[in-house]
Every structure is written in structure tokens, then in C-alpha cells.
Copies of this chain bind each other. A is one copy, B any other.
Amino acid sequence: MSVQPLLIAGEWQPARELVRTFRAEDPSTGEPIGPEFPNCGETDVEAALAAAAAVAHELAAAPPERIAAFLETYAEEIEADAETLVSIAHAETGLPKHPRLAAVELPRTTSQLRQAAKAVRSYAWTQPVIDTAANLRSHLAPLAKPVLVFGPNNFPFAFNAIAGSDFASAIAARNPVIAKAHPSHPGTCERLATLAVTALRKSGLPAAAVQMLYQFDRRIGTQLAGDARLGAIGFTGSRTAGLALKSAADAVGVPAYVELSSVNPVFLLPGALAERGAALAQEFFTSCTMGSGQFCTNPGVVIVPRGEAGDAFVAATTAHFAAAAPNVLFSRAVLDSLQQGVATLRAAGAELLAGGNGAGPGYRHAPSLLSVTAEQFLHDPHALQTEAFGPVSLLVRSDGAAQMVQVAAAFEGNLTGTLYSAADGSDDQAWAQIAQVLRPRVGRLISNRMPTGVAVSPAMNHGGPFPSTGHAGFTAVGMPSAIRRFTALHCYDNVPDHQLPAELRDHNPGGVARCIDGCWCIDDIDHGVPHA
């Protein structure tokens, strides 16, 4: 039996300890596809960690130009290989080749790598702060330790552990990466890893800057997460798995940036419904079922006013859901978890309006709509916030603003919260009341847009209060901000100019924005005084 090798220290090498093997599946048929991949053991994990740790200081000292060149070369390699990558990812995930994989996610991924490269060249992620009087200079700096990245199932490119936002962020901050594939698309991960190796070679970065492991048992993962040789962890996935990793990491002071779960409440205010209820029903249905609803920012709970306009919205939405064909999900695990989620919602009193069934071949489920009253929701908010990852949403039928405020107050931390309001300003008072309560419970507050689009922008926040993520101060998407997760604050006190990092020296290395004596500028410093 031939089993794919692991990538450790720049070498493709067979697993030292082959616990078992696994294959990808075509989720539209449930049939195994592609080669056997290794579920590896402790000695492999140790080898990957040791290799990454051994180059951490070298990588931390690498010239920014070389880091940027790697990120850009990697983007070019991915583009040159786009057709193959899209084919493999389509076969492993069931996501459509067009437009999703080829025209949306792959360009997003290469753009993200290039935005990271730009942040490296401009030093924007380092946030230099200089106090000339005290001669104190600080910036964000590499951890000089490996970053462990766990990729999720739902973005085979843009959040891939070896190509996505966490990866680009960790490398931009000059940290080596140990990438842990998502086992539902190992072939995509392997293909990306080979491109990463080529880009490493072309850019002259140390080969051990990147390792690729495909799978290991939970016990080994928890042990690895609790290893103080790590600098940080980036994780996107299930709440149970993420919290276990975070707990192990917390105990040894390793920051674990975990993105866990979110139901992304959407409040439809009465004026908006009266104004454009039918359009909102279409917009909501599209957002909830796009990508088979397998987005962290899927609109999982929609608060709909009682009354005529609300009833019409529910009827139109129900018709959309009822008419839709079953969606292909990523895996049996996703299907099982979705069915469990729907069962939990129903057990808590939610009425099924449409869908509700799994279907074959492969792993399919009907787009599903459920409904509860606000009173039911407020009676059991915990169960009724269960995330049913997939094309599923729960409607909460509510009275006016006062009850919507109560519903908003019952939400735990979420990535997003959305308010739809009328163009004529008639919802503005309700907007203000609900937003005040919703605002601190979400990372991104959205007006009159569905939450499923997450732009890669410096002003994006793809993060939110616990338990949607592990720390409300950081975003997983957006350059340079996402890079900051994988940095440490470093201060230089009275250190001579020639011994400082480039961006903290008197001479600005070229257009770097620095906060000098309280003002942001791109000036040099001359005899302790900034000058243009």
C-alpha cells in the first residue's frame, strides 16, 4: 500500500509512525477518491515541531523582501496550477468549480497572499511607535517560534492551513508554520504544499519554514497544542475541538486564536420588511444556501416581526426553501452534525417549515427552515442557538423593538450581527435600541447586507466575542490586521541605531508609517527630532 508522505523540514518523507490511513471522499457520491494519506503518530509530530523550531530564529531574521517574494511567488504558482487545484478541490469538497472555486476562492487566496506581501514590504503589521525623548522604540515582531495552523473544511484554498489567511499571516510575521490539513480535502492540501515548496526554493527561505501533516488523533493534537515550543495556534473548526486545543495551549501560555462557531443573527425591522419583503426573502435564501450554507457567517437565526409583512416574508422564504434541491455537504461528519443540530432545535420546540431531510447519493441535505416564537427563544436561548452548520436557518417571530432587544440580549458572542432597516428612516429608533445591545455581542455589525461576504480588507473584522472566537481583540481576515495575532510586542530601550530593526531606526527604510512622539508620519528622525 502506497501512502502519501509528510512534508517536514523541506523533505517529503514517509510517516515514521503510521497510525492508520485515510482517503478523501467525493461528497456527491460518498465514494473514496485519491491516494491514501497518513494519520501520523507522536514521532512525526515531534519531528515537524523540532524542524520548525530549529529555523524559527533564522526565519525571524530573514529580510522582509525575501518573505514578500515567497508570498508572491507562491501566489503565482497557485495561479499557474489553478486548473488542477480547482479539479482536486471540487472532487474533494463538492464545491462548484465555477464560479466558487475558480473565480472566487482561488483569486481571493492569491490576493490574500499578495496583500500579506504588501504588508511585509510596508512594515504595516509592525506598527512602529517611537518616543524620541525617552529613546524608547517598540514594534510588533516575530514570535521566533512555530505557528500551528488547523485548516477548516469549508475553504479549501482561502483558509487552507498551508495557503490561507492564518498561513499567510504567520509567514508574513516571519514565523515557521506547521500546517495541519483538514482531512476532508487532503489532496488539495498536498497539491498546495508542493507549490509552497517550489516557492520556498525560488525565494530562498529556509525549507523548514513550512511543514504539512494530514491527520493525527485528538490526543496527539491536544498534546501538541500544549507544547510551549509553539508560538501560537490558528484554528478554524468545531467548538469542541477548538476549545480542547485552546485549553491545552492556555495552560502553557501559547495564544490560541480559535474561530469556533456563530449563528450570525439577522434582525429584519418592520419598515424594511414592508418596503422590500419579497426581495429580502430571496436575498436571505441565497445567503443561507450559497456554498450549501457551509460558512462561518451563515445567517443561522433571523428575527422576523409578527404581523402581515412578517408572515408574507416567512411564506416567501418557506417557498424558496421548499423548492430547493438538496445541497451537497462536505462530508458525512458535516451531515451528521447538521442533522444533530436540526434535531436539537426541534427538540427545543422549533417547528420545521421546510426541508429537514438528508438525501443521497453522497452527503446531501435539504435546505431547511425552522421557526420559533420569541418567547420560546427567550425560554431556551442556549439550545436555540445551536449551530446547524449547513443550509439551515431558524426564524424567531418577535414583537416590536422591545422584544427584539430582549432577543438580542440573549445571544452569546457571534462573528456578525445584522440589521435590515427601511430607507426612509422609520426603523432608525429600533435600530439604535437593538444595536446598542447587539454591538458588544458581535465582531461585525452589518447594515442591510447579508453576513456571508467577508472582504479581505484592512478594516474587516472576522472575529468576535467568545465563544465565536477565543479573543475579541483580533481578526482572522484582513491584512495587516490578521498578522498581528502571530506577533509579540518588542520594545528597544536606549538601543543604538545600528542595533535596531530597520523600521525602528532613525532613517525610515522607505515610506513606513510610524507613530513618532504621538503622530503618524513617514519621516526620518534627525538628532532625535522627526523631519520630513
Contact = CB atoms under 8 A, between A and B. Distances in A.
A61 interface: yes
Interface string A431-471: 11001110110011111110000010111110101110011
Contact of A491 (B141, B435, B443): B443
A431 B499 contact: yes
Interface stretch (A183-191, A342-350, A514-522): A514-522
A201 B418 CA distance: 37
B473 A488 contact: yes
Interface of A: 57, 60-61, 124, 129-131, 134, 136-138, 140-145, 228, 246-247, 250-255, 413, 416, 428, 431-432, 435-437, 439-440, 443-449, 455, 457-461, 463, 465-467, 470-475, 481, 484, 487-496, 499, 513, 515, 518-521
Given A136-B455, A484-B473, A449 B251 contact: no
A440 B145 CA distance: 9
Determine which residue in A246, A413, A515 has the highest number of CB atoms from chain B within 10 A of its CB, and name it. A515
B247 A494 contact: no
A232 to B, nearest CB: 9
Contacts of A136: 455, 457, 459-460
Given A250-B247, A460-B136, A484-B473, A492 B445 contact: yes
Contacts of A460: 131, 134, 136, 138, 491
Given A137-B459, A458-B515, 4 more contacts: A129-B458, A443-B491, A475-B491, A520-B521
A134 B455 contact: yes
Nearest to A454: B493
A391 to B, nearest CB: 22
A440 B255 contact: no
A473 B140 contact: yes
B129 A481 contact: yes
Determine which residue in A130, A136, A137 has the highest number of CB atoms from chain B within 10 A of its CB, and name it. A136
A490 B460 CA distance: 9
